[in-house]
């Protein structure tokens, strides 16, 4: 298991096939409502705390998983809010986000929606995202607080969406597209209404 502490609020965990066997996880059958799955995640997070100091138990967190070609997976853990005043025994502090990786050969499109704490991070993510050559539509917004947002779609039949979504995770946090589009129309402005990834990557 390889751990990369991206910042104080975000951790990247790379599990090998052997790690998946050790923690009794199968990406194709993971059930977030299953007690064993939750126990495996907490065991992984406990090990991460021991090795990196990243304390997932102190905040509400968001987890997303992406399979790797070698049989393991990549796990992104993002702190999204404190548990102050909440009963930890009653509420599970983990929010499980569905993987936005599309199976190889799919005919559907993946929608990517991410939030960035500053325009520098947005630009850096766009520069790397252009390497995948998968994004067909994209727009970028900024709100009153200087927080930036990227909304994008991939082409049909994309086979490397894991790289693309993983790249965006390195710099931003996944958000709900419908909610934030509504929010930004009232509290933000468009940076790029089209071809945002290509435009911002040029800066």
**Structure confidence by residue, pLDDT tens digits, 104-133:** 333 345 678 899 999 999 999 998 888 766
* pLDDT at 10 > cutoff 90: no
| CATH code for residues 111-201 | 3.30.70.1950
* pLDDT at 38 > cutoff 70: yes
User: d(Cα 17, Cα 169) in Å, to the nearest integer?
Assistant: 22
* pLDDT at 49 > cutoff 90: yes
Residue 110: what pLDDT?
66
Whether this prediction's pTM lies above 0.85 is answered by no
User: d(Cα 46, Cα 67) in Å, to the nearest integer?
Assistant: 21
* Residue 193 binned pLDDT confidence (cut-offs 50, 70, 90): very high
Q: Residue 203's CB: how many other CB atoms inside 10 A?
A: 11
Which tens digits make up the pLDDT trace of 138-153?
999 999 999 999 998 8
User: d(Cα 92, Cα 45) in Å, to the nearest integer?
Assistant: 14
Residue 133: what pLDDT?
66
Residue 37: what pLDDT?
84
User: d(Cα 32, Cα 186) in Å, to the nearest integer?
Assistant: 35
Residue 16: what pLDDT?
92
Average pLDDT estimate for 9-25? 90
Name the residue ranges covered by the structural domains of the chain: 2-97, 111-201
Higher local confidence (pLDDT), 152 or 156? 152
Tokens representing residue 24 in the block: 């009794």
């Amino acid at each position: 298991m390889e751990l990369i502490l991206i910042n104080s609020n975000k951790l990247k965990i790379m599990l090998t096939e052997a790690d998946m066997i050790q923690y009794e996880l199968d990406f194709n059958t993971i059930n977030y409502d299953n007690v064993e799955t939750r126990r495996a995640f907490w065991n992984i997070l406990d090990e991460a705390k021991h090795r990196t100091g990243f304390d997932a138990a102190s905040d509400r967190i968001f987890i997303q998983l992406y399979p790797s070609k070698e049989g393991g997976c990549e796990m992104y853990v993002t702190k999204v809010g404190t548990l102050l005043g909440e009963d930890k025994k009653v509420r599970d502090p983990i929010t499980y986000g569905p993987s936005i990786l599309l199976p190889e050969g799919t005919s559907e499109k993946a929608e990517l929606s991410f939030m960035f704490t500053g325009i520098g991070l947005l630009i850096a993510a766009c520069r790397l995202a252009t390497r995948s050559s998968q994004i067909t539509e994209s727009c970028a917004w900024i709100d009153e607080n200087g927080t930036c947002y990227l909304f994008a779609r991939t082409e049909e039949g994309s086979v490397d969406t894991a790289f693309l979504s993983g790249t965006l995770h390195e710099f931003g946090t996944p958000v709900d597209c419908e909610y934030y589009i509504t929010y930004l129309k009232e509290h933000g402005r468009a940076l790029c209404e089209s071809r945002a990834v290509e435009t911002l990557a040029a800066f």
